[in-house]
Structure 1
Amino acid sequence: MTPRRLYPDYTYSRSPIERCYWAEAVPETALTFPPLADHRTDALVIGGGFTGLNAAISLARAGIEVTLIDAQFPGFGASGRNGGFCCIGSHRASDALLTRRFGAGEPAAVNRTEAAAVAHVEAFLEAENLDVDRHSEGEVILAHTAAKMEQFRRDAEAHLRDWGSPATLIEKPDLAAHGLNGPLWHGAIQMPHGFALHPRKYLAGLAAAARRAGAQLHGATPALRIDDSGPQPKVITANGTITANRVLIATNGYASENLHPWLRGRYIPAQSSVLTTRPMTPEELSAQGFTSRQMSYEDRKMLHYFHLTPEGRMVFGMRGALRSSAANEKRIAARLRADFEAAFPAWKHVESPFYWSGMVCVTASLTPFCGALPGSPKVFAAFGYHGNGVAMGSYLGAQMGRLAAGDTPDLPKSFATPPMRFPLGRHRMLLLAAEYGMSRLLNR
């Protein structure tokens, strides 16, 4: 049996991460673990990213025997190739939608969980004394239109009410004074939540903590199918069969349609692409007038997201590719570079030797999911972070571990409710194409 996915084999190969900047400090060899053949374990975690490793740590620290497998190596998927934003924003559901579906208290419950997710990562880094190149206090959201800036002015008041902390408006004439100068933006709003980090350094710390807690980690062990028809779930892998008392799925946008029947059609992987420049001198940074180390992004569907690293490299990413191949990767890289130069014209001469891409994960409910699969009480899953999974993927991984251990974590109703299936089945990418096309047309 081969995995059935929405993108071609190229997407799931090593090609899209051949020039990943994060691998300079933490190469694949630092995250390589032996394959696993036939095996029995109490708990099996499928997927070695932020979700899977946090789940493994949670289970192992609870005294449960846990084995983790990854198709390639821990961090091969989105966790090892994202933009390094540990922030809020893992859902796309409006307050009105959350209230209509789950009651008046749901937006506040979701906000508390978003804040708890950032705090979870922060507490782990402090407890483990990890150096992950942390920088940025909160994040800056840049307005790409005057109308969006008007919305920010309204949002600033709502932020204090909803979060209990103030947001700071930055009007267009003041952008340069905040080190946020650029020709494309009409102002900004600064939120006090989250921070930037080196995702693979965080991954390496998670893997080390999981092993110290007693978890067994294995790579090169693709899970092909979960058979939970008997008293114990069996996971058929490319190397053999693993029998477990409980199975935790932590594959997010890298899941296959035939891993478990329930998963089919409940997520859409969406491509995100990133470049990174060489280190820039203080003079080069000053020439552009963008010197802030704050995480920054544009509040729109076809967004750009970026931040300066402590050594002065710009990490610059965008969403929007719908096809994946070697040829299309070259086109996307060229478009990303052109967008980078439009945003920062004084840096047109600055080389960007690093470029890579990966998959984020979208659900039809517009919220993440964490829970047991309906009809399969011994199989659990957590996925659907909508491009902001550093914090929420970590947090829901830990909560999924608690669930599998028999505990009852405090999750919002919307996150504990199984997402509906997208229409169109294997052709559901057409929905994303329509949304992207309309967003480009309307510049939103």
Structure 2
Amino acid sequence: MAACACAAGEPSGVSMPLSLISQGRVRTHAGIDGAYLADSDLAAQGFVGQGALLYDGRTEPDPVKLAQGLLAAAQARGAVLLCPATAENYETSLSAVTVTTREGDTVRARTLVLANGYEMPDFVPAPRHSLVSNWALAITPFPGEAWPHQSLVWEASDPYLYMRSTADGRVIIGGEDEEFADPDAGQALTSAKIPGLQAKAAARCPGLADVEAEFAWSGVFGQTDDSLPLIGATPGRPHCLAAFGYGGNGITFSAMAADLLDAHLRGEPWKDAPLFALDRD
């Protein structure tokens, strides 16, 4: 599967294609080679837009199977899983960390790594962190390909739109972020968000003009105001590390967090680690 970052219409006199071309140059310099598509190239693939960056070699994991595979790999290496388990109390000392759960379990360890998604304990400093609600829908199975190569499409706009295909012939359309985290309120807005997502998708890909949404849902994720994750030691809590604020880049940032925290535990911190510090300026 390829990945395509697509520029929308021209807002406030800002040249989106020039911005995409600059981004492409940065990626090329970093060793990530791709291609720039002009508006005519996009039209030939069934899209409407000023331009896009196209990259090969991207993957699309099944999140449930991926999570199950990672847990199985951890168990094979000796990890012990507690489920269900809701952490209620954290105690840190100069030598260890103790976590007690609502279910009555107690876990003691030399080091604690907090990777709770957006459910961040109160003692984690997060002035740059905020919670955002997001909506998505899945259309009824589409006959044939909605667009060539079934690329993952991410619109370079704010608010953004993303589209991707599924193994059973559907297209998932998402976006419409709003900065609040009440799941009930998010679910209540879902029916109102569907027409907007459908209209935006049809504007970018006219072939989706008459599709119907069969499923729709909302979710919450954490993000930071500088788009960099929060990874590293938790100030004021000895032996407590954290990894939060991935935004929409969880697959990339989680892998980076694993490497960064492993280096921290080995006493070989990255020189760029301060960029991701929880209490960075």
* Range class of TM-score, shorter chain: 0.7 to 0.9
Cα distance in structure 1, aligned partners of 2:52 and 2:128 = 34
Letter in 1 for 2:88: L
Does residue 175 of the first structure (1) align with residue 42 of the second (2)? yes
228, 242, 261: which is aligned to 1:400?
Answer: 261
Task: Compute the displacement of 1:249 (Å).
Answer: 0.2
| Alignment counterpart, residue 205 of structure 1, candidates 56, 69, 75 | 69
The 2-side partners of 1:165 and 1:327 are apart by 41
Q: How does 1:115-264 map to 2 (within 5 A)?
A: 136-137=1-2, 139-146=3-10, 147-160=15-28, 162-177=29-44, 179=45, 181-183=46-48, 185-192=49-56, 194-229=58-93, 231-240=95-104, 241-256=106-121, 258=122, 261-263=123-125
Q: CA deviation at 1:267?
A: 1.8
Correspondence for 1:433: none
Distance 2:205 2:35 in 1: 23
- Over 3 Å counting, the alpha-carbon distance change for 1:420 and 1:155 in structure 2 is closer
Of 136, 161, 171, 1:274 maps to 136
Q: CA–CA distance in 2 between the matches of 1:212 and 1:327?
A: 42
User: Pick from 240, 246, 262: which aligns with 1:385?
Assistant: 246
Secondary structure (helix, strand or coil) at the match of 1:300 reads coil
Opposite residue 268 of structure 2, the aligned amino acid is T
More off after superposition, 197-206 vs 323-332 = 323-332
SS in 2 for 1:156: helix
The reply on whether 1:315 has 2:172 as its aligned counterpart is yes
C-alpha spacing 1:192/1:346, structure 2 compared with 1 (3 Å): closer
- The CA deviation at 1:244 is 2.4
1:170 counterpart letter in structure 2: L
Structure with more of its chain in helix, by fraction:
1
Aligned to 2:247, the other structure's residue is in SS state: coil
Say if 1:365 and 1:420, in contact at 8 Å, map to a contact too: no
Distance in 2 of aligned mates of 1:187 and 1:416:
32
Runs of 4+, deviation exceeding 4 Å: none
Query: How far apart in 1 are the matches of 2:259 and 2:25?
Result: 33
* Further displaced range: 241-250 or 334-343: 334-343
Residues 144 and 266 (structure 1 numbering): CA distance in 2 closer, same or farther, change over 3 Å?
closer
Within-5 A mapping of 1:78-97: none
Amino acid at match of 1:331: A
Distance 1:155-1:243 versus aligned 2 partners, 3 A rule: closer
| TM-score, with length taken from structure 1 | 0.55
The correspondence for 1:306, drawn from 163, 171, 177, is 163
Report the residue type matching 1:275 in the other structure: L
Partner AA of 1:248 in structure 2: V
Spell out, residue by residue over 1:294-349, the C-alpha distance to the aligned partner (whole angstroms, 9 max, x if none): 21101123111122234432121114123441322332344323433443443344
Identity rate, percent: 23
Between the aligned partners of 1:236 and 1:359, the Cα distance in structure 2 is: 26
- Per-residue Cα deviation, 1:93-139 (whole angstroms, up to 9, x for no partner): xxxxxxxxxxxxxxxxxxxxxxxxxxxxxxxxxxxxxxxxxxx14x2
Does the CA contact (< 8 Å) of 2:243 and 2:257 recur in 1? Answer: yes
Aligned AA (2:7): A
Deviation of the 1:379 alpha carbon: 0.5
How much has 1:171 moved relative to structure 2? Answer: 0.9
- What residue identity is the alignment partner of 2:148? T
- Could you report, residue by residue, the CA deviation over 1:165-216 in whole angstroms, capped at 9, with x for unpaired residues? 4331111111143x3x234x12212235632222222112112111111111
State the TM-score, normalizing by the size of structure 2.
Answer: 0.83
- Alignment root-mean-square deviation, CA: 2.7
Instruction: Return the alpha-carbon distance in structure 2 between the equivalents of residues 401 and 413 of structure 1.
Output: 12
Which amino acid letter does the alignment assign opposite residue 58 of structure 2?
G
Aligned to 1:340: 201
- Compare relative contact order (CA 8 Å, sep 6+) and give the higher one, 1 or 2: 1
Instruction: Give the structure 2 partner of residue 369 of structure 1.
Output: 230
Letter in 2 for 1:384: G
Which residue identity does 1:247 align to in structure 2?
L
